[in-house]
Amino acid sequence: MKTELSFFTEPCVRVIDGRAAADYLLVSIGHRVQQAGLTPGLAVILVGSDPASSVYVRNKGRCAQACGFLSRQYDLPETTAESELIELIERLNVDPDIHGILVQLPLPRQIDPHRVIQAIEPAKDVDGFHYRNVGLLAAGNPGEALVPCTPLGCLHLIRQQLGDSLSGRHAVVIGRSNIVGKPMANLLLQADCTVTVLHSRSQDPEKLCRQADIVVAAVGIPGLVKSSWIKPGAVVIDVGINRLEQADGTARLVGDVDFDDVYPVASAITPVPGGVGPMTIAMLMQNTLESAMRLNGKR
């Protein structure tokens, strides 16, 4: 009796390893620093003692040192006046050893984050939040801008899965924040994607999202995106970092995508944690190196 072969037909889903991608990029940055013969300088300013912010700042400092950068951390008290913070930024703006300035958000209530961000020299604004950098990106000149780190990391992961040519693919960005949603949409537009941005006023977001080849979720709602939102074979990038309290008093991090539900449908998906997060820090290092190269006339 002839035995017929049976084939496993479930989509081959890849969990995108953001840590591995970031590590590879950081090694590359370290090599480029040595080849360029310069020492990029990164200054990170922390106002107050928010535990999560303190961890982020320490991680950025360690990463900068591992890449061969000069790393400076400025820890300011919670009561720091806005004028004091801006005065420090102005000193760093003209410091030739510093090529990247980052002010860790959120800031205490007495400080206007918009005024602080606009006080940073645009060429040293490695977060990519200054209006000049925002405008250059929106105008289609990302090569002249410093691009926000998280969307830049997302694009890197998307290209890893789909290659350099994203032309004609339909991308849906869920969320329209200035930090992720809007710059992500601009980057995808410049990659010749057809881009839809979903937000709190969008009608029938599930239907719109289900049309996408690429989904980037950055809205801050735990588990919002279910399998019914995803076209089979889509690449799903989850930017959300939401802390859920457990019955035993501990907390766990989850994304905006219901990972277990979406996993069987997507062709590739980022986990939380371990997906986009490590790429954000790696892209910060890339922006700092890029700034150092430009300011030293090596670009």
Q: Which residues are annotated as a binding site for NADP(+)?
A: 175-177, 241
DSSP the chain: -PPPP----S---EE--HHHHHHHHHHHHHHHHHHHT---EEEEEEES--HHHHHHHHHHHHHHHHTT-EEEEEEE-TT--HHHHHHHHHHHHT-TT--EEEEPSS--TTS-HHHHHHHS-GGGBTT--SHHHHHHHHTT-GGGSPPPHHHHHHHHHHHHHH-S--TT-EEEEE---TTTHHHHHHHHHHTT-EEEEE-TT-SSHHHHHTT-SEEEE-S--TT-B-GGGS-TT-EEEE---EEEE-TTS-EEEE-SB-HHHHTTT-SEE--SSSSHHHHHHHHHHHHHHHHHHHHTT--
What are the two backbone dihedrals, phi and then psi, of residue 42, each rounded to the nearest 5 degrees?
-120, 125
Which of 127, 213, 238, 256 is labelled catalytic?
127
Q: List residues forming the annotated binding site.
A: 175-177, 241
Which of 60, 125, 213, 286 is labelled catalytic?
60
Is 238 labeled as catalytic in the residue annotation?
Answer: no
Is 104 labeled as catalytic in the residue annotation?
Answer: yes
CB 214 within 8 A of CB 172: yes
Which of 35, 50, 65, 104 is labelled catalytic?
104
CB 226 within 8 A of CB 261: yes
Is 65 labeled as catalytic in the residue annotation?
Answer: no
The set of catalytic residues is 60, 104, 127
